[in-house]
A and B are shown apart, each in its own frame.
Chain A
Amino acid sequence: MATSNKAPTPPLARRMWNTGFPVAVLLLAFLVIWYGAAWCMNSAAAVERVLEPAGHPWTWQDLLATTWNMERPVLPAPHQIAVDFWSGLVDWPLDSPRNLLFHVAVTGETTLVGFVLGTLLGLVLAVLIVHSRTLDRALLPWIVASQTVPVLAIAPIVLVILGSLGMEGLAPKAVIAMYLSFFPVTVAMVQGLRSPQVIETEMMHTYAASRWQALWMLRLPAALPFLFPALRVGIAASLVGAMVAELPTGATAGLGARLLTGSYYGNTLAIWSALVMSALLGLGLTTLVAATEHLALRHRRQP
């Protein structure tokens, strides 16, 4: 990848300032808007449920303080979410369903198992498709077309089928996460495995390289830059799949289940904490993939 003959990039500190500062300003503005919105959206309930029953007259400061510290707010203030989130992390033992990390472990495990299986399936399928004209013509159009279809809707069916086959616990959820993550990997890998130039494939041919050698030494390395963006898409899809798979089973563990129970009991803070946690999990998993990419492709950036 010879991309080094561009204009020299500005030093790191300058780049950090160029994006970090606007992002910080925006986040701050977002926080202010959030507090304002919390005040607007909660004030009706605050007056009705807290201030009126108290009986004595109240000022706008009272109203402000109440709207930002309600028990079941329409929109909780950020510090309430932070407090609930922190208490969900540290106040309970790790194996208690009240601990957020317990749910993260369940969902994260499903996501990772499904993601690894889906990636393997995608790789195998892509290799087969690249080497067989029949599979390429018969299967690839369906895989591409399935990208336009809400495949996630099949999740309840997969749960029912695997459930009646006696599979319970991790396996059915991981299957859903798997089939969501294999589509992008397959499509990208077919593209990547075909990316070597004619001259390179012909050179392998003149070396009398077998198909396996050509695959291992030329096609797979050439496909890596295509693989990693697909993996990032795949792991995000896998997380959504794992969370959705927790919904219809009445599962009690996992971030999806936590969201659902929170919404049953109207426990706003629990919903928001689970939401923040799933966002963090998504970011963490993507960072993991990005770090792997960095590690795998570190030799290519050197000029």
Chain B
Amino acid sequence: MKPALPHSLRTTAAAVAVSLGAASLLFFHPAAQGESPPTAAFWLMLVALAGAALWTIRRVAAIHGTRFDGILTAALFGLWVLYFWQMLVVVFEVPRVLLPAPSLIVQSLVDNPGKLWGDFSQTVLKAVCVGWLLGSGLGFGVAVAIDRLPFLQRGLLPLASLTSTVPLVAVAPIAVMWFGFDWPSKAAVVVLMTFFPMLVSTLAGLKSSGKLERELMHSYAASYSRTLWSLRLPAATPFIFGALKVNATLALIGAIVAEFFGSPTVGLGFRISTEAARMNMSLVWGAIVVAAVTGSLAYALLVQLERRAAFWHPSIRGK
């Protein structure tokens, strides 16, 4: 049995529904479709809708207690931004070069599935996936390997931390010279960019197990590898997943920017730079939508994976 909604919640829900309904009705007004010049009545309705949009966002933001209220406000806000972007771009006849309407971007996504899928598989499935797995794997492997060599750790850690201040993506032209124009050179850039965050995080994670637990393992006469496997690696999982998440974004950036330096005629970065030069902006936006969705999906996937893998850890349990 659902508890009856409180009065204020019901008005808010009704207001959201009514304003969204009015908004979708206004969307089919000839002026909003770019078929006739906007009339005074149309402007009046648009301004009224803007007021309603602000008011509903405020109302929804004021809701306390439900599980999704945080996401709800952001979603409603995003929806309204998209809506007014669409309406204003059409009504003011903003040139497509400046800012295409969202409907045009969706149109370009629908019209070029083959092209964008090719770019996606070139950049994401090949360069990013291979580079991300190799870079993160190598970082992890090296961290575990030098775990018993404090000398190497003391030498490597400062250098590895310094690399975060260096624009590593600038090695792209060298990678192109060594590995050719195709995806291996992009994967190489990604490997370099993802290696150091993983190395630093894993080393920090391996040190994160508590003194009590380590002494317990010691009193069990557990061997080094047993302690590593049963205590220290599990304790490092949140750190490792943290690096995996950071690396997912870094890998996408690295692969896309590396394609700006030269690539075969396929790939998200190539698409973005060449179509921008040809002023075909709706396809550029389409490619960016693909990249953005990929980034957020990868992140969400890793968060879910982390919850499965480290469900016992206090940082996850609290959520």
Contact = CB atoms under 8 A, between A and B. Distances in A.
18 contacts: A23-B159, A25-B151, A138-B76, A141-B74, A142-B74, A145-B296, A147-B249, A148-B245, A150-B252, A150-B295, A153-B272, A153-B291, A157-B281, A161-B97, A164-B98, A240-B167, A248-B260, A275-B174
Interface of A: 18-19, 22-27, 74, 133-134, 136-142, 145, 147-150, 152-154, 156-157, 159-161, 164-165, 232-233, 236, 239-240, 243-244, 247-248, 255-256, 259-260, 262-263, 266, 268, 271-272, 274-275, 278-279, 282-283, 285-286
Contact of B97 (A145, A160, A244, A283): A160
B152 A26 contact: yes
A138 B73 contact: yes
B249 A275 contact: no
Interface stretch (B32-40, B54-62, B109-117): B54-62
A248 B259 CA distance: 11
Given A22-B152, A26-B152, A152 B174 contact: no
B132 to A, nearest CB: 13
B257 A152 contact: yes
Nearest to A263: B173
Interface in B289-308: 291-292, 295-296, 298-299
Nearest to A24: B155
Nearest to A241: B167
A263 B78 contact: no
Given A138-B74, A159-B276, A260 B173 contact: yes
B71 A141 contact: yes
B260 A244 contact: yes
B289 to A, nearest CB: 10
A248 B276 contact: yes
Given A142-B78, A154-B288, A283-B162, A274 B170 contact: yes
Interface stretch (B13-21, B210-218, B261-269): B261-269
A278 B170 contact: yes
B77 interface: yes
B262 A148 contact: no
Contacts of A145: 296
B256 interface: yes
Contacts of B173: 259-260, 262-263, 271
Contacts of A240: 167, 169, 257
Given A26-B156, A278-B167, A137 B60 contact: yes
A126 B129 CA distance: 35
B163 to A, nearest CB: 9
